Chains A and B, each alone.
Chain A
Amino acid sequence: MKEARLTILNQDGFHARPCSVFVHMASRFKSEIWVRRDDVEVNAKSLLGVMMLAAETGAELIVRAEGPDEAEAIEALTKLAEEKFGTE
């Protein structure tokens, strides 16, 4: 299992558009991927789940992957967050 911490840098927070980019990327991996904020953890491949985290700008999330491509998944998702999900 691999996990990493990511910070939401988008000005409006982790709202619909960045969430959809994130979920789209997560869905490309075979591994099971989860994302956690405080004590709430959701499936990273569920748009509704990820949106419901309502993570504002500056919020920290933990992403966790388990499966054959876990390292690649974590790397891709962290990079996406650093690039503000390409939406700004």
Chain B
Amino acid sequence: MARSETLKGIAASPGLALGPAHVLAPLELDVHRRALPEAEVGNELARFGRALDVARGELEDLAQQLGALGEEETRQILEVQRMLLADPSVRGETERAIEQERVNAEYAFHRIFAQAAGAYEASDTETFRDRAVDFRDVSRRVLRHLTGLGPRAPLDLETPCVIVAHDLEPSQTIHFHKGKVLGVATDVGGRTSHSALLARSHGIPAVVGLRHVTRILADGDLVAIDGFSGAVWPRPSTRRAARVKRRARLLDQLGVQLGALKDLPAVTPDGHTVELSANLEIPEEIAHVLESGASGVGLYRTEFFYLGRAHLPSEEEQFAAYKGVAERLHPRPVIIRTMDLGGDKVASYLNTEAEANPFLGWRGIRFALHHPEVFRTQLRAIYRASVVGNVKLMFPMVTTYDELDAALALCEDVRQELTREGHAFDAQCEIGMMVETPSAVWSADVMAERVSFFSVGSNDLIQYTLAMDRGNEKIAYLYEPLDPSILRSIRATVVAGHAHGRWVGVCGEMAGDPRIAALLMGMDVDEFSVSPFDLPRVKALVRALPYARAQALAQAALLLPSAKAIRELLARELDPLLPPVLLGGDDDEREPD
């Protein structure tokens, strides 16, 4: 079959996989309503009772097996299913419908769980929408016995393969053992779906939310998946397949070598310490942050509270989440970035209109200042959480001093309000700002007087400095972190910050590339905030490269005229010095097939 285009889904579990697809057929069972003659009611009740008992027994056996295997996560999911079947109201309601409405057991029973699944699917909250599958799973287990299909054959994989499914139900993930399941790709699901959580807990790469992957792939087709970027290549070219394989091998070697660094500090051989923190997108990723050996969270994005739901998050909801993160990280710091909506991230209920240039439009701090009530609610939640841990707050995409001034005034107002109400908060809670626009770079000296720290958001800084739309593929080549204008902007921010005694960090993808991180360290950047998966590699670099060498390298790089010349310099100077495993990055990803 012909090669297909690259598919783009949601990166749900990091890692790379290449192998034959094993496409799981959807498990829909047709359930029809049948009117029951009075004489059959007794029989029907008995038939239902038997099916329920068998299904419960099955779940008990499975739970025992899983307990013995140490598969705690799956065991607990199935334990809940067992309890649902033991719920007297489930049995009672089904029996009532059989007796009084005179409907068949399949229909009476299925209706209860279909209703529950429907309620979850309609929820504003992603975690509930992602759980609707639980009700369908438990319902099907009983229906199979009612309809005489018997227990579902376990997923018995003879050869290692990539599981391709519409959505994985908990029952189907029982036989996930690393080695046999190379990766997972699903049509639906979000980052908090079972497929995603279980894949992560087993260390299996996964991409979810691919829409039609089950229709594009057939059993046995070769497929490559990238759980870092969310890319899936159905029937990849030989070149693409070889590339994925090589990167996967490097990652394996890296994992083993880097695991040992977890508890070691990020200190250069000549004694210079850098702050190495991790980015956090959803609170449940915090386990990865702690595992990665990060010294804190340098960028906690809060957009997920606002997106994909029907109404604004309450102060209590945000407070509970911020508090949870701060408590788990304590005494490590967490920098909470206030809402960065607008641009490509728009919450439907905030009545935004389509804009001709969204990235130059109503977004970041501009958007927040135009919604002071929404912004205040968030600031209150952050301040209230500041008493339980080491919390700092940071504003996104500041362009002018006046914006910073207005945002700081709002913070002051919120602090006074909390004091009046008798709420405790950390009066020393530091406030910083992102440097993402050329205007912020050029005004860094005056802005430094008002904030405690800067964090350079490299992804947007590149887009705004080079006047390139990141979403436009025709100019993708312009997305160049090593362009002299970018490096000089970062250096200027560092100089302005340090002159006022402020620390300066870089968050964004460029800090996660060890070669570039070397350069940033030499430019006196104090803190890097990178994805938990890139973090060990950057730490290994810091521990291998003397600070003096990095400084010399940065000095030389800042004199060069082009990204190409800088890239060559980095390769020439760093590659002989660093173990190849550190540099096995994704540097050829932009090449075409």
Residues of A within 8 A of B (CB): 7-13, 15-17, 19-20, 23, 43, 45-49, 51-52, 54, 56-59, 88
Query: In the complex, which residues of chain A have a beta carbon less than 8 angstroms from the beta carbon of B319?
Result: 58
Q: What is the chain B residue whose CB lies nearest that of A59?
A: B317
Q: Are A46 and B284 in contact (CB under 8 A)?
A: no
Q: What is the chain B residue whose CB lies nearest that of A45?
A: B88
Across the interface, A48 reaches (CB within 8 A) one of B89, B124, B127, namely: B89
Q: Is B103 part of the contact surface with A, judged by Cβ < 8 Å?
A: no
Q: Is B534 part of the contact surface with A, judged by Cβ < 8 Å?
A: no
Q: Is B80 part of the contact surface with A, judged by Cβ < 8 Å?
A: yes
Query: What is the distance, in angstroms, from B127's C-beta to the closest C-beta of chain A?
Result: 5
List 13 additional contacts besides A8-B320, A9-B320, A54-B120; criterion CB under 8 Å.
A12-B192, A15-B131, A16-B134, A20-B79, A23-B87, A48-B87, A52-B115, A54-B125, A56-B127, A56-B317, A57-B317, A58-B319, A59-B317
Q: Are B77 and A16 in contact (CB under 8 A)?
A: yes
Q: How far is the CA of A67 from the CA of B321 in the complex (A)?
A: 36
Q: How far is the CA of A13 from the CA of B128 in the complex (A)?
A: 8
Q: What is the chain B residue whose CB lies nearest that of A56?
A: B125
Q: Contacts A7-B316, A52-B119 hold; do A20 and B124 have CB atoms under 8 A apart?
A: no
Q: Contacts A11-B321, A15-B131 hold; do A58 and B80 have CB atoms under 8 A apart?
A: no
Q: Is B360 part of the contact surface with A, judged by Cβ < 8 Å?
A: no
Query: In the complex, which residues of chain A have a beta carbon less than 8 angstroms from the beta carbon of B124?
Result: 56
18 example contacts (A-B, Cβ-Cβ < 8 A) are as follows A7-B316, A9-B320, A11-B283, A12-B284, A15-B131, A20-B79, A23-B83, A48-B116, A49-B89, A54-B119, A54-B123, A54-B125, A56-B123, A56-B127, A57-B316, A58-B316, A58-B318, A58-B320
Q: Is B159 part of the contact surface with A, judged by Cβ < 8 Å?
A: no
Query: What is the distance, in angstroms, from A25's C-beta to the closest C-beta of chain B?
Result: 13
Q: Are A52 and B80 in contact (CB under 8 A)?
A: no
Tell me the number of A-to-B contacts counted with CB atoms below 8 Å: 80
Q: How far is the CA of A88 from the CA of B283 in the complex (A)?
A: 12
Q: Are B123 and A48 in contact (CB under 8 A)?
A: no
Most A-side CB within 10 Å, residue of B83, B313, B315: B83
Query: In the complex, which residues of chain B have a beta carbon less than 8 angstroms from the beta carbon of A9?
Result: 320
The 5 closest A-B pairs by CB, nearest first: A58-B317, A58-B316, A46-B89, A16-B80, A56-B125
Query: In the complex, which residues of chain A have a beta carbon less than 8 angstroms from the beta carbon of B581?
Result: none
Query: What is the distance, in angstroms, from A45's C-beta to the closest C-beta of chain B?
Result: 7
Interface size class of B (residues with CB under 8 A): 35 or more
B118-149: CB near A (< 8 Å → 1, else 0) gives 01100111011001001000000000000000
Q: Are A13 and B89 in contact (CB under 8 A)?
A: no
Q: What is the chain A residue whose CB lies nearest that of B81?
A: A16
Most A-side CB within 10 Å, residue of B76, B125, B319: B125
Query: What is the distance, in angstroms, from B339's C-beta to the closest C-beta of chain A?
Result: 17
B284-313: CB near A (< 8 Å → 1, else 0) gives 100000000000000000000000000001
Q: What is the chain B residue whose CB lies nearest that of A60?
A: B316
Query: In the complex, which residues of chain A have a beta carbon less than 8 angstroms from the beta carbon of B112?
Result: 48
Q: Are B116 and A52 in contact (CB under 8 A)?
A: yes
Q: Is B562 part of the contact surface with A, judged by Cβ < 8 Å?
A: no
Query: What is the distance, in angstroms, from B439's C-beta to the closest C-beta of chain A?
Result: 37
Q: What is the chain B residue whose CB lies nearest that of A53?
A: B119
Query: What is the distance, in angstroms, from B221's C-beta to the closest C-beta of chain A?
Result: 35
Q: How far is the CA of A11 from the CA of B328 in the complex (A)?
A: 12
Query: In the complex, which residues of chain B have a beta carbon less than 8 angstroms from the beta carbon of A23?
Result: 83, 87
Query: In the complex, which residues of chain B have a beta carbon less than 8 angstroms from the beta carbon of A47?
Result: 80, 83-84, 87
Q: Is B438 part of the contact surface with A, judged by Cβ < 8 Å?
A: no
Q: How far is the CA of A49 from the CA of B76 in the complex (A)?
A: 19
Most A-side CB within 10 Å, residue of B87, B192, B283, B321: B87
Q: How far is the CA of A23 from the CA of B88 in the complex (A)?
A: 12
Q: Contacts A17-B76, A47-B87, A52-B116 hold; do A12 and B320 have CB atoms under 8 A apart?
A: no
Across the interface, B125 reaches (CB within 8 A) one of A13, A20, A51, A88, namely: A13
Query: In the complex, which residues of chain A have a beta carbon less than 8 angstroms from the beta carbon of B451?
Result: none
Query: What is the distance, in angstroms, from A73's C-beta to the closest C-beta of chain B?
Result: 18
Query: In the complex, which residues of chain A have a beta carbon less than 8 angstroms from the beta carbon of B83?
Result: 20, 23, 47
Q: Is B90 part of the contact surface with A, judged by Cβ < 8 Å?
A: yes
Q: Are A20 and B89 in contact (CB under 8 A)?
A: no
Q: Are A15 and B87 in contact (CB under 8 A)?
A: no
Q: Is B4 part of the contact surface with A, judged by Cβ < 8 Å?
A: no
Q: Contacts A51-B116, A58-B317 hold; do A11 and B324 have CB atoms under 8 A apart?
A: yes
Q: How far is the CA of A48 from the CA of B320 in the complex (A)?
A: 25
Query: In the complex, which residues of chain B have a beta carbon less than 8 angstroms from the beta carbon of A8?
Result: 320
Query: In the complex, which residues of chain B have a beta carbon less than 8 angstroms from the beta carbon of A46?
Result: 87-90
Query: In the complex, which residues of chain B have a beta carbon less than 8 angstroms from the beta carbon of A51?
Result: 84, 116
Q: Is B419 part of the contact surface with A, judged by Cβ < 8 Å?
A: no
Q: Are B127 and A15 in contact (CB under 8 A)?
A: yes
Q: Is B555 part of the contact surface with A, judged by Cβ < 8 Å?
A: no
Q: Is B314 part of the contact surface with A, judged by Cβ < 8 Å?
A: yes
Query: What is the distance, in angstroms, from A63's C-beta to the closest C-beta of chain B?
Result: 17
Q: How far is the CA of A16 from the CA of B81 in the complex (A)?
A: 9
Q: How far is the CA of A59 from the CA of B88 in the complex (A)?
A: 26
Query: What is the distance, in angstroms, from A8's C-beta to the closest C-beta of chain B?
Result: 8
Query: In the complex, which residues of chain A have a beta carbon less than 8 angstroms from the beta carbon of B321?
Result: 11, 57
Q: How far is the CA of A4 from the CA of B271 in the complex (A)?
A: 58
